[in-house]
Amino acid sequence: MKEWTLEERYRVLQSPEDIRDLYGRIRESKYRQLYHVQPVTGLSSDPNGFVCHEGTWHLYYQWCPWGAVHGLKYWYHVSSPDLVHWTNEGVGLRPDTVYDNKGTHSGSAISKDGKMYLFYTGNHRDENWIRTPYTCAAVTEDGKDPRKLPEPLFGPRAGYSEHQRDPKILWNAEREKYYIFIGAQTEDGKGTALVYESDELLGGWSFAGELRIRGIESLGGMWECPYIVRIGGKDLLLFSPQYTKLPGRGESTNHNVYFTGRMDYDSMTFEADGPFRFLDYGFDFYAAQGAQREGRADEAVLIAWIGLPDNHYPTAEEEWEGSMTLPRILTIKDGRLYQNPVQEMASLRGEEAQADDLPAACEILADFDGKDASIALFAKKDGTGGLTFRYDAEKQELTADRSGMDIRFNEKIFENVQIPLDTPLRSMRIFADRSSVEVFINDGEETFTTHLYPTEEERRLVCSEGTACRIFHVCPSVKDDFVI
Ligand code: FRU
């Protein structure tokens, strides 16, 4: 893989011409997604500023234009009328002030009175490469050309490390206040979040306290990308703890977890209903953030990065990598979180396909009879290999394994996982695109997301007896235009 110098990673984009050739090359890749948002060039990572504004969905992603490398980060803007058809809109935020000279890092958005307010981390570094993170804001009417405030809303809080970033903005109607949650690290290296409050969006911010989660003493070394939302009267808190290994997650040190419960803003304590749960069991899922439609307080829409911070993927050779997940609907029933693809996905369903000729972009509906079962996606002609799922009825556990694929990657981190189920396996709804697979298990009780790079020889779906599978083509829905 290419070795990048610091200079190359932090090069400033001067003109679209700087990357036109790169765009021309990568769009030929057979792994370019057909119905997932992906980087126009280079690398995409966290979803940012996801919001429904005046009937249109806006999403930005962390973008490094130059290749499959984490360097100078921009916000790249895409929009959609319906959460499935997406259009490239061009650069959203650029690192062009002293406060964000080494990157416009992650953040969130809120829509109010015809305007979108973007909150992001200005990643400042001085000549000795010492980092100072600033919480900054910008305003736009239509998502394009956001106008940055001349000064940050606030700087880093003393008593914590340089890791303070990823502002999540929210309005709390009961308390008639805005809050910002910031992912942070204590000076002794523990993950946490800092909460700020204000009566207005663009000023008046003061520190309200450090977030505590009842029952959690310590969970990882940094909580990236905190997100909190009220769904049907329950609070859902999620974040991406890093710098720690967690049970069942191989050698990975990056995770995405959630708690349900109640956020008490007086004591700044999240009264969790129970221990943390994994938001997704797959190998490549991180930095999720959500948005809500007006008038739909009973659900939220979640989107995440298909990828992990320390990993690289086979398309790095082609000078690009990364993808967003499909947007998923989050609901909470009887205190339990469910995640399902947005209903609009049904509009992309095409003709039925055959198990020995699996389309690169397809939806698979699999029904199980509760007994031991297995299913292999993108197996070889002779039925061997593929991404396999094996269900052990006695343990009520599903094992996912991608080590049977011809193109293997990040093998040392993990290639197989156990997914414990709360109820016996009934169904899997699977979405495969050219370089990703997402699985919704038992109507959204658990999910599994991975990158996957099938070859020409890997085109078969193999299901065990007692498993009923139907396969459908999925129509392309994401434009891959060169808009910078
Ligand atoms: C998570 C993250 C964020 C940060 C951004 C930089 O992947 O590390 O904490 O804001 O990526 O690209």
pLDDT tens-digit series, residues 309-368 = 989 999 999 999 999 999 999 999 999 999 999 999 999 999 999 999 999 999 999 999
Ranges of the chain with pLDDT below 70? none
**According to the model, what pLDDT value does residue 1 have?**
76
Q: Which atom of ligand 1 is nearest to the CA of 107?
A: 10
Q: Which amino acid is at 396?
A: Q
**According to the model, what pLDDT value does residue 66 have?**
97
**According to the model, what pLDDT value does residue 415 have?**
97
Residue corresponding to tokens 């016996």? 424
Q: Determine if ligand 1 sits within 6 Å of the CB of residue 309.
A: yes
Catalytic-labelled residue, pool 18, 21, 46, 334: 46
Among candidates 416, 435, 432, which has minimal Cα distance to 473?
Answer: 432
Distance CA 100, CA 116 (A): 20
Q: Determine if ligand 1 sits within 6 Å of the CB of residue 166.
A: yes
Distance CA 405, CA 388 (A): 9
Q: Determine if ligand 1 sits within 6 Å of the CB of residue 164.
A: no
**Which tokens is 357 given?**
């000729």
**According to the model, what pLDDT value does residue 294 have?**
86
Q: Determine if ligand 1 sits within 6 Å of the CB of residue 165.
A: yes
Give residue 348 CA to ligand 1 midpoint distance, Å: 31
Q: Which atom of ligand 1 is nearest to the CA of 62?
A: 12
Q: Write the pLDDT tens digit of every residue in 43-52.
A: 999 999 999 9
Give residue 323 CA to ligand 1 midpoint distance, Å: 15
| Paired sense of beta strands 87-93 and 397-404, if any | unpaired
**Which tokens is 185 given?**
């690290």
Residue 46 catalytic? yes
Asked if residue 172 lies in contact with residue 265, where contact means CB atoms within 8 angstroms, the answer is yes
Distance CA 218, CA 222 (A): 10
Q: Determine if ligand 1 sits within 6 Å of the CB of residue 168.
A: no
Give residue 225 CA to ligand 1 midpoint distance, Å: 7
**According to the model, what pLDDT value does residue 387 have?**
98
Give residue 273 CA to ligand 1 midpoint distance, Å: 28
